[in-house]
Chains A and B, each alone.
Chain A
Amino acid sequence: MAKISMKVNGKTVSGDVEPRTLLVQFIREHLGLTGTHVGCDTSQCGACNVHYNGEAIKSCTILAVQADGSEVVTIEGLAKPDGTLHPMQAAFREYHGLQCGYCTPGMVMVAVDIARRLPGADEETVREELYGNICRCTGYQGIVEAVMAGSEAMQTGVLPLKEHH
């Protein structure tokens, strides 16, 4: 067993883990933060994306012990404490970027990362950037629209609303 400690969603947490414990297992099973999901076992699906020292990573790709001393933000840490959605979360709702919700936390975490790294990214770039995240429900259209609109909202503070035909 190894003792680890890290900052998760702004709070310092610690735990005793088997060395083989993945970061996602630590987050879900030790910390009880079940918003981070596991959708595969080959690091393809992206449902387990979190922010690790400010960057989106698949939390199944590193061990919990590797994350010792790091700063992690999970989907639970994105909205304001009063429940106000992060602009990207609001964009996913506005553009129907989710159906069953299982891939959603990972999608949102990656979307925020895309918006930070590539503000104003065009549609093609957003689609390429989402390569590591699989959604089975939406056909991605709402997600792509949400990433672009959410990105704009993160810059301007105003979420462009979806237009209906």
Chain B
Amino acid sequence: MGQYGIGQPIRRKEDARLLTGNGRYTDDVNLDGQAYVYFLRSPYAHAKINEIGLADALAASGVIAIYTSADLIADGVKPIPCEANAKSLKGVPLFKPPRHALAFERVRYAGEPVAMIIAETYNEARDASELIQIDYEELPAVADTSRLADADAPVVWDDLDSNVGLHWETQESAVSEAIFKTAYKTVELDLLNNRLVGNPMEPRCAVSHHDAQTGRTTLYAPSQGGRRVINAIAKDILNVPPQSLRMVSLDTGGGFGIRSKTYPELVLMVWAARKQPRALKWRADRGETFVSDAHGRDQSTKASAAFDKDGKILAVRNETIVNVGAYLSENGAILAMMGGGKIMGTAYDVPVLYFSVKSCFSNTVPTDTYRGAGRPEVNFIMERLIELGAEAFGISSIEMRKRNFIREFPYKTQMGCLIDSGDFPGTLDMTLEKGDYAGFEARKAESKARGKLRGIGIGYYVEGAGGRPFEEMRVRFEKDGKVKIFAGTFSHGQGHDTVYSQLLNEYLGVDASKVELIQGDSDTSPKGAVGTFGSRSSMMGGVAIKRASEAIVEKGKKIAGHLMQTEPTKVTFKDGVFHGGSSSVTLEEVARAAQDPSKLPEGLEGPLDESYYYERQGESQNFPNGCHLIEAEVDPDTGTVEIVKFTAIDDCGTVLNPLIVDGQVLGGIAQGIGQALVENTVFDNETGQLLTASFMDYGMPRASDFPMIGIYFNSVPSPTNDLGVKGAGEAGACGAPPALVHAALDALKGYGIRHIDMPLTPEKVWRAIQAAKSGKAA
């Protein structure tokens, strides 16, 4: 391990630039002669569009063009495809309604784009939008997740009898029911997993222009790696050659899963740029970002667990309704089963599982992958069942966990994930020790003396990170001595420039200052590149870089052998230097020689420029896991829940850079605590209006919501990738919510409150206390 190699808490290369105002985000791009775009959005959650009158708006000052879905359809623009596929047990496929980039005939959620206005200035475009006359015929709307599958719920898509776009389930319904009938004890729980808005701090933004000479259109927009997005726009939507489009993502102000989608506005910015001789710029404000980014979570679940007399789980049943919104975003309909269901059971041995998901439409913003994407949901369910089981048996939940932990690896979950490694009991014990579990009672007494109720709660999680088991990376030595990494993964806060440089330092001995990461450009990203999501960049991209480095060494040996007049097979490589007999030559020298054909052995071409397409066989994911321990104080008079102690032990496999992994864990925790404590996306159930569409209404976690969090690792390297890494980004979002809820419920134990749905706002907790006092405990 070198000073700059794997495992070191290297300070980030990215920071000096970002700290001095030299970051470059999409809104910082201004092209000559650009016109401005404003999207007119539906004010109704569900309405028929009878007529759109554009005459007044078209005549308004500065207006260049206004487009509606009629223009898209006339031009052969196809709806945005949903690549997710799944079938019911009877073979009925997921219903995929057409999603036109602009609303066609009907609007199905408030905020759906209806018209695209292009004008000389942003204000003129916005002013003109107010002159567009649309005759809407309002229809009944449905938003409430738990009601979506009801027979009397308004139906979003006429093609269906109900809002159920897919009822997906495993086959074990009858088997599990029989087990429940004879089980020693069973527990059951209804819960809601609250809808969240990702809210990257950078609002939505895009700039596009078409070069008539080259016939190419460039889209600048924040993303998580734009290759997939721009390819979908080219091939599936606009039907133009992929090479005629280019997508560039500059610095991107956060992604969290939701920034990886083929959004209607991106399609429109590309399409309209090809219609207009001008460059176009669109910048959403926060309110527009709230309704134009995909949302996360939003599930209603009935779950139950059956136990034998020793408290060992015999079976779990889980029936979930997931609110996919009005249209299918990329993976919204399947993340509950493919993201969540596959690891259901999480850290515990569950021999029989019945898992059912009804993916239901509603008159709301579409939902999709958001930090954890299905895994936080099942971890929350599983942890709640464990706690309820412990209660039913009158044992501690620590004991309950230990009786049920998976202890042998690899372990195959009921839905087929192969959990490769872990040390669940060890991680739990380490958490209790680091978090001074033994000292809790004394702290509780101290809190009580101050009038506060103190509780302690555990959240043990296992999540499946990765997916899409292929990624390509290219490493190229330049004439000027720089080493460029061409990536299709996309760092939007994760510090890839730093970590990838560490890898090149480790494997090639290259000085980190010489490494340059080229990313965010569909023209330069390798063909086999996928992107950054699901905590996959190190486990896929990192491995591809390692193997490309090995290819560099192999080629380097041939050149070094030629230079040293040694048989290449006898050349060795260590710390940036090739050795052969008593001679040696540095990689730098070899790279320079590789630029000069006269110094190369016959049949070999320079420069040192190697790509590696890494494709993993077998299990496509790995399984970060860990234990989060929270102590919270509840004020019984106000219902306020305050986190007073937080200890997290994570097994993210090999830690490449502890500074950055700490940051990933902490960021995930903040979003998990946000979900558990303050964040809630509220729709009016009658009108479908989004009531929380600003930072004044939507609870974003603040610095004062957290104590200093103790972050530690109990690393068990993953045996399924060269680096031994596991994901780190989604850990906190999985572990923190159950830990917080359990801490609060433990504090409220005296009232006999069994469950409170997230977020645990003061109002909700206060009401639960009042209900309990009047004998109506939840």
Residues in chain A within 8 A of chain B (CB atoms): 33-42, 44-45, 47, 74-76, 78-79, 83, 85, 89, 92-94, 96, 98-105, 108, 123, 126-128, 130-131, 133-144, 162, 164-165
Contact = CB atoms under 8 A, between A and B. Distances in A.
B442 interface: no
Given A76-B20, A165-B712, A101 B14 contact: yes
A96 B202 contact: no
Contacts of B18: 98, 101, 104
B21 A34 contact: yes
Interface string B657-686: 011101100111111000000000000000
Interface stretch (B142-150, B251-259, B475-483, B523-531): B251-259
A105 B703 contact: no
19 contacts: A36-B21, A37-B27, A40-B286, A41-B285, A45-B695, A47-B201, A93-B11, A93-B19, A98-B19, A99-B495, A101-B14, A102-B25, A104-B18, A123-B708, A126-B703, A136-B201, A137-B254, A140-B701, A165-B658
A10 to B, nearest CB: 15
Interface in B471-499: 492-495
B20 A100 contact: no
B703 A89 contact: no
The winner among B18, B19, B493, B669 for most chain A CB atoms within 10 A is B19
Contacts of B22: 35, 76
A138 B695 contact: no
A11 B659 CA distance: 38
A102 B285 contact: no
B61 to A, nearest CB: 14
A137 B493 contact: yes
B19 A99 contact: no
Contacts of B704: 127-128, 130-131
B201 A103 contact: yes
B696 A142 contact: no
Contacts of A101: 14-15, 18-19, 23, 251, 253, 493
Contacts of B25: 34, 37, 102
A107 to B, nearest CB: 10
Contacts of B199: 136
CB-based closest 7 A-B pairs: A35-B21, A102-B253, A101-B18, A139-B670, A100-B493, A99-B493, A44-B695
A92 B201 contact: no
Given A85-B20, A89-B20, A34 B28 contact: yes
A54 B255 CA distance: 34
A102 to B, nearest CB: 3
A139 B15 contact: no
A92 B19 contact: yes
Contacts of B703: 126-128, 130-131, 133, 135, 140, 143-144
Given A100-B251, A100-B493, A42 B286 contact: yes
A74 B22 CA distance: 12
A136 B659 CA distance: 17
A139 B729 CA distance: 12
Nearest to B254: A100
B2 interface: no
Contacts of B671: 136
A68 to B, nearest CB: 22
Nearest to B205: A38
B253 to A, nearest CB: 3
A24 B190 CA distance: 47
B256 A136 contact: yes
Which secondary structure dominates chain B's binding surface?
A: loop
The winner among A38, A47, A164 for most chain B CB atoms within 10 A is A38
Given A92-B19, A93-B16, A140 B694 contact: no
Contacts of B732: 139
A76 to B, nearest CB: 4
Contacts of A126: 703
The winner among B15, B203, B286 for most chain A CB atoms within 10 A is B15
A165 B663 CA distance: 14
A11 to B, nearest CB: 15
A164 B18 CA distance: 23
B425 interface: no
Interface string B274-286: 0000000000011
Contact of B23 (A35, A40, A93, A96): A35
A78 B21 CA distance: 9
A97 B19 CA distance: 10
A164 B659 contact: yes
B286 A41 contact: yes
Interface in B9-51: 9, 11-12, 14-16, 18-25, 27-28
A116 to B, nearest CB: 18
Nearest to B15: A93
Nearest to B285: A41
A89 B19 CA distance: 6
B416 interface: no
B200 interface: yes
Nearest to B20: A79
A87 to B, nearest CB: 12
A102 B254 contact: yes
A9 B667 CA distance: 33
Given A39-B201, A74-B21, A98-B19, A139 B28 contact: no
The winner among A39, A75, A100, A126 for most chain B CB atoms within 10 A is A100
A50 to B, nearest CB: 11
Nearest to B198: A136
Contacts of A102: 23, 25, 200-202, 251, 253-254
Contact of B21 (A41, A76, A96, A98): A76
Given A135-B201, A136-B256, A137-B667, A99 B494 contact: yes
Contacts of A143: 703
B667 A139 contact: yes
A95 B329 CA distance: 37
The winner among A34, A89, A99 for most chain B CB atoms within 10 A is A99
B663 A140 contact: no
B706 A140 contact: yes
B287 interface: yes
Contacts of B198: 136
Nearest to B18: A101
A142 B663 contact: yes
Given A40-B695, A93-B16, A130-B703, A138 B667 contact: yes
Contact of A34 (B14, B24, B658, B666): B24
B702 interface: yes
Contacts of A47: 201
A13 B644 CA distance: 48
B700 interface: yes
A36 to B, nearest CB: 7
Contacts of B131: none
A136 B254 contact: yes
A130 B703 CA distance: 6
Contacts of B191: none
B709 interface: yes
B20 A96 contact: no
Given A35-B23, A123-B708, A141 B666 contact: yes
A128 B702 CA distance: 9
Nearest to A165: B712
B519 to A, nearest CB: 14
B663 A99 contact: yes
Contacts of B287: 41
Contacts of A42: 286, 694-696
Contacts of B696: 42, 44
